[in-house]
Chains A and B, each alone.
Chain A
Amino acid sequence: MTDPVSQSNSRNGLVLSLRGISKSFGAVSALTKIDLDVHAGEVVALVGDNGAGKSTLVKILAGVHLPDSGTITFCGEIVVLDDPAASLRLGIATVFQDLALCENLDVVANIFLGRELDPWRLDEVAMEIRAWTLLNELSARIPSVREPVASLSGGQRQTVAIARSLLLEPKLILLDEPTAALGVAQTAEVLDLIERVRDRGLAVVMISHNMEDVRAVADRIVVLRLGRNNGIFHPDASNQELVSAITGASNNAVSRRAERRQGSREHSGEPRP
């Protein structure tokens, strides 16, 4: 199962390296001896079924949970991420699934939330310029940064959340289900966005359930199953391979369904783009 894909991809510097990360909540082992490498300028997709431990892993990296054992090496140094501020300081930015934006505040205020310039006399002009610079770097299409976030579409909000994570010049960005709530066009926009972030030399870890999205942007696909590593794949791996790694069986609901459809049609294979 374990392809040696990771070696071929280490052309850039190693940003993050996890070794033997374990985490249990009471009697439940959420993560068991997880290894993960992420390089600069690389998108790593983290996939797995519900309960596979993806979000726990992201929360460990975001400083929300402490791992029970194992080491986290960030930019060549072993680090302890014991609170969200520690992660932010190191340069690990997280875009949470629910985005965590304040809808009553405008785009500039959201991007700079908690990190305003000039605390006793907010420098709105400088903040607005920086916000536009960030958004333009992402080729974002936001009409006005002085509108409350409530008036933005899902894709635009995602852009704001990503722009906010870029404000602190991070080295690693964690994206939890960045396309889960988005429409077709907006999903494409966010995927473009992820590619642009990667092209700026940042390391990206993306969680997603959508295999198409994963294949579209990921350089490597890391599969978790029941809290353990269950293979690393190239994005051109077949759907069948991925699904059996995710579900842990070659005979599963997805493959049976695919077989049935193949049987009923004469020529067509998998419905792939």
Chain B
Amino acid sequence: MNGDKERRATSAPLDRADERIRHDAGLAGATRAFLDRVRSGDLGALPVVIGLVIICTAFQSLNPVFLSSNNLVNLLFDCSTVGVIALGIVCVLMVGEIDLSVGSVSGFASAVVGVLWVNMEWPAWLAIFAGLVVGGAIGALYAVLFNRFGMPSFVSTLAGLLAVLGLQLYLLGSTGSINLPYGSPLVNFGQTLVMSPAVAYTLAAVTGAVIFATAFRTAARRKRAGLSARSLGSLLLRGIVITIVLELVVYYLNQDRGVPWMFGLFVALVVAMNYALTRTKWGRSMNAVGGNREAARRAGINVRRTHMTAFVLCATFAAAGGILSAARLASASQQAGTGDVNLNAIAAAVIGGTSLFGGRGSAYSALLGIIVIQSIASGLTLLDLSSSLRYMITGAVLAVAVIVDSLARRSRMSHGRA
């Protein structure tokens, strides 16, 4: 408070002129601001962190293999496939829509790759590209149905779930499944390819440095422009803590095989999407359309185009996830993309903190959410529980996640935080 008064007495930054607002400076202030945010229903990553702690304690006490390096490396391999699909779900949830067919689209894309690459002997990259294009085309079709005919995405994608599954079965018809050749780059990427320790340590260090550098530059610009800015000390502390945590994780994973390149790709996609959603005009319009479609329209945003990009991105990510999981399993089968893939992807996005009601979410929710979902799946597999129990438990977790989302939303509304 004293520091506040002094600042005002000399020359208050442009955004600190109003004396009604409390300025949370320093560690105590940051803690207070965080508690206020949580109390008002702005939970952020908190449910995920709490959930992960509970999951880890429970499964670790039941089976000490759970937190072993080996199991965690496997976990990261498994996360990457459905995680990429969840990243697409984040896109459609941002604009307040849904895509229920991501599982079918992922299975169909893997079938396309299998048929084109193995049966018709196209080059692998071309087959993958074709799979992604097919996925994008399905998304574009949903967008056209939505924009032109006002068909609710819930219904159009439910129809798509069946139709695309039919296409997948048709493509694989005679054989039922296509084995992808072992030893090919794609299958290696999905099953064994890990970063060498030096690369992994360097990447972790670079990540910390980049986070610090961008924050530092922003702070410097804000200070020059006469706005309040975070202090150098807190930025440095954050950068160092992030670097140390990342290096420790890498060290632990390196005790076994190391960090999978596939997980690296997933994280890179998440970071790219996060940039696109928060730092570009397109991302701003996605948020606006999800928050208030009519307001976005009157502000001159092309709402139809925004929907189009959301659906196309979602289906393309779904196709990418399907291709990755085909690589992981070294086969394109009739079962690919069926079962719980759909709901795991949607659940991951919601558990990670993306709202089902639009206008609220982040690319990181796909990363956080899928780690929770896969931890549960992995833990239950280690306990050797039957799939009946696994479905029930995963379902219960999803229900809890949606309840938390709804309650948090209600609390945000009563606290005036949208």
Interface residues of chain A, those whose CB is within 8 Å of chain B, are: 84-85, 88, 96, 99-105, 109, 113-116, 119-122, 124-126, 128-129, 132, 141-152
Q: Which of B221, B359, B415 contacts A102, CB < 8 Å?
A: B359
Bitwise, B365-404 to A at CB < 8 A (1) or not (0) is 0000000000000000000000000000000000000000
Assuming A102-B287, A125-B227, A126-B225, what are 11 further A-B pairs, CB within 8 angstroms?
Answer: A104-B287, A104-B290, A105-B287, A105-B291, A114-B296, A121-B279, A122-B280, A122-B281, A142-B18, A144-B18, A151-B416
A150 contacts B287, CB within 8 Å? no
Given contacts A84-B300, A100-B292, A128-B227, contact A113 B280 (CB under 8 A): no
A100 to B300, CA, bound (A): 12
A119 to B417, CA, bound (A): 26
Query: Could you show 6 A-B contacts with beta carbons less than 8 Å apart?
Result: A100-B299, A113-B295, A115-B299, A116-B284, A121-B279, A151-B417
Distance in Å: Cβ of A16 to nearest Cβ of chain B: 20
Inside 8 A of B6's CB, which chain A residues have their CB?
Answer: none
Q: Which of B20, B225, B282, B296 contacts A113, CB < 8 Å?
A: B296
In the complex, B344 has a CB within 8 A of chain A = no
Inside 8 A of B280's CB, which chain A residues have their CB?
Answer: 119-122
Inside 8 A of B226's CB, which chain A residues have their CB?
Answer: 129
B281 contacts A105, CB within 8 Å? no
Inside 8 A of A147's CB, which chain B residues have their CB?
Answer: 417
In the complex, B360 has a CB within 8 A of chain A = yes
Beta-carbon contacts under 8 Å, B21-80 to A: 21
Q: Which residue of chain A lies nearest to B22 when distances are taken between CB atoms in the complex?
A: A143
Q: Which residue of chain B lies nearest to A113 when distances are taken between CB atoms in the complex?
A: B299
Bitwise, B289-330 to A at CB < 8 A (1) or not (0) is 011101110111100000000000000000000000000000
Given contacts A109-B284, A114-B300, A115-B300, contact A143 B21 (CB under 8 A): yes
Q: Which of A104, A114, A120, A132 contacts B301, CB < 8 Å?
A: A114
A122 contacts B300, CB within 8 Å? no
B18 contacts A113, CB within 8 Å? no
Q: Which residue of chain A lies nearest to B276 when distances are taken between CB atoms in the complex?
A: A120
B14 contacts A132, CB within 8 Å? yes
Q: How many residues of B contact A (CB 8 A)?
A: 37
A152 to B221, CA, bound (A): 27
In the complex, B407 has a CB within 8 A of chain A = no
A122 to B221, CA, bound (A): 14
In the complex, B285 has a CB within 8 A of chain A = yes
A1 to B353, CA, bound (A): 62
Distance in Å: Cβ of A51 to nearest Cβ of chain B: 23
Inside 8 A of B221's CB, which chain A residues have their CB?
Answer: 125
In the complex, B121 has a CB within 8 A of chain A = no
Distance in Å: Cβ of A181 to nearest Cβ of chain B: 15
B15 contacts A128, CB within 8 Å? yes
Distance in Å: Cβ of A155 to nearest Cβ of chain B: 14
Given contacts A119-B281, A143-B21, contact A104 B300 (CB under 8 A): no
A258 to B335, CA, bound (A): 80
Inside 8 A of A116's CB, which chain B residues have their CB?
Answer: 281, 284
Inside 8 A of B21's CB, which chain A residues have their CB?
Answer: 143-144
Inside 8 A of A128's CB, which chain B residues have their CB?
Answer: 14-15, 227
B416 contacts A102, CB within 8 Å? no
B418 contacts A143, CB within 8 Å? no
Q: Which residue of chain B lies nearest to A62 when distances are taken between CB atoms in the complex?
A: B298
Q: Which of A85, A102, A121 contacts B296, CB < 8 Å?
A: A102
Q: Which residue of chain A lies nearest to B21 when distances are taken between CB atoms in the complex?
A: A143
A116 to B291, CA, bound (A): 17
Inside 8 A of B15's CB, which chain A residues have their CB?
Answer: 128, 132, 144-146
A102 contacts B292, CB within 8 Å? yes
